[in-house]
A and B are shown apart, each in its own frame.
Chain A
């Protein structure tokens, strides 16, 4: 088999499977689970631009989800602007906030950076929970905002069925993966990796590490806000606990770390492994064994950190290469 083909083969297969899945999966519950899976894969891939390539550990990305969700929802509720436009506005806002957070925090080292991002995210959440009006915008404090399902259709980003949401989030995921692939092969990508691993050495070679990190943060917060708008339009109800909570930030980081941060396949792999665990344990053991999925998360996280600190994508990729090189063909590993 020609070597470039076996690298593309799993991608093509995965794309075909992803596109065709709604034809097989007709149950609304399973489709919902798949949508959440892709949503988290998307969120984690966006996070990965900062948390993976730049080698820092941001634990406050829920803020950007919240900014995206609130911006598009406020604009559509109060001014009748289509959520698609609100999505872009939210992303720009979120990107500005991301840079504002990044400017002082990127100077900090490991743990301090993680704590500062938590403090920012929690501070903003507490603020949203305590005020009903942010300037002229009504945000209703802890009660949040409800989107009345009046007009459905693509222009209103609102659908009666789950399939359109599925394809939208799939397209978003494909887009962000392609973007990550481009960035990882661009100058910026190399700057980020260099700055993350050896900041002094990179700087001495003339790499502006701080600027590269800020660029990554701006892009990451921009992309993360898209997911916020998607979440708002999908659930039609947002409140600070649902779109800004620390749990979201931590789950994103968990998925990235278990899948393998700093790689392109890692976040998708992590979401494929963890999301079903979380959803199915909630469905089957939610009443008898509450919190089981979080115990599993914790155990898997510790095991991965102990034995595969670079995440699960690495051994799987290696295994896949070995199988393909040995021409055992037909047996495809995870994409």
Chain B
């Protein structure tokens, strides 16, 4: 019984990091109404930025956030501004521009393979970082310290994003655009600037998730693919566009992945997650917390 509790706790911790990774995706979807297929690749970029920041400066793996977050924000802002905005303008009257999905798929292929060209296929991790392999012991239970840090990072980031959306002027503009882009434009909100900012924030959040993963996860060019589909599943479970839903959805997936292997071959849990995802798509496509819109 104890190891189930232990697995559950570790599953929740890992799941919250999944949720953190999915947070950016759900934010971008909530506002742009676009599934960003390049999200896993943005996470991968975040991991490499964090990795090199730690290696080059020798700072604590979480202190590098001061470098990672601005870089990722600018990266996401420019990506949206240069590549995705023109398509939005071309398909102005389409509620859910499928072309944008295709462009983000192109971005995914380019980013993953560029990093393969630049950094090579080898797995990297930060040797001797202060969080590596650390465990907290509660009696017979072992709780991973880097995952605990990731859990805290996820909660804090989600709270910050929530506060930004609720309390700031820009946050209100973002929410207005997500509800009705025409009405928001009529109120003098520049919707394309809001899209840029949202994409920047979503990318920065992916950077935070990448930083949280770096102390205990291998970094390699296609690492994003491991998280890509998982993130889609999580945001649909939680409800597209919902911040709390992303965290909860992440934890559900995390717990299934970590408790499941007690009862079956580990690889089967993946099939269970896909099954759960499809059940949700059919029965409750708005997810646990999603608002029922026509998307």
Contacts and interface: CB of A to CB of B under 8 A. Distances in A.
A130 B90 contact: no
A250 interface: yes
A223 B34 CA distance: 31
A329 to B, nearest CB: 36
B232 interface: yes
A218 interface: no
A109 B294 CA distance: 8
Contacts, number: 119
B271 A127 contact: yes
A304 to B, nearest CB: 9
Interface string A302-315: 10011001000000
Given A104-B282, A127-B271, A309-B90, A114 B101 contact: yes
B116 A111 contact: no
Contacts of B106: 297-299, 301-302, 305
Interface stretch (A17-25, A144-152, A171-179, A288-296): A288-296
A287 to B, nearest CB: 12
A107 to B, nearest CB: 9
A305 B117 CA distance: 25
Contacts of B107: 298, 302
A120 interface: yes
A69 interface: no
Interface stretch (B3-11, B162-170, B188-196, B272-280): B272-280
Nearest to A57: B98
B83 A302 contact: yes
Given A115-B232, A291-B116, A295-B114, A123 B109 contact: no
Given A118-B229, A122-B229, A110 B101 contact: yes
Contacts of A129: 267
Nearest to B35: A111
Q: Which has the most chain A C-beta neighbours within 10 Å: B101, B103, B109, B275?
A: B109
A212 interface: no
Interface in A257-290: 257, 289-290
Nearest to A297: B109
B271 A123 contact: yes
Contacts of B108: 298
Interface residues of A, number: 38
Given A111-B34, A119-B274, A298-B110, A305 B99 contact: yes
B257 interface: no
Contacts of A295: 109-110, 113-114, 117
B277 A126 contact: no
A142 to B, nearest CB: 9
A289 B275 CA distance: 38
A112 B103 contact: no
B112 A294 contact: yes
Given A123-B271, A295-B117, A115 B110 contact: no
Contacts of B236: 112, 115
A28 interface: no
Interface of A: 57, 104-105, 108-112, 114-116, 118-120, 122-123, 126-127, 129-130, 250, 253-254, 257, 289-292, 294-295, 297-299, 301-302, 305-306, 309
7 contacts: A57-B101, A115-B232, A120-B274, A292-B117, A294-B110, A302-B103, A305-B87
Given A120-B274, A298-B108, A301-B106, 5 more contacts: A115-B236, A130-B265, A250-B105, A302-B110, A306-B103
Interface of B: 34-35, 83, 86-87, 90, 96, 98-99, 101-103, 105-110, 112-114, 116-117, 121, 221, 229, 232-233, 236, 265, 267-268, 270-271, 274-275, 277-278, 281-282, 285, 294-295
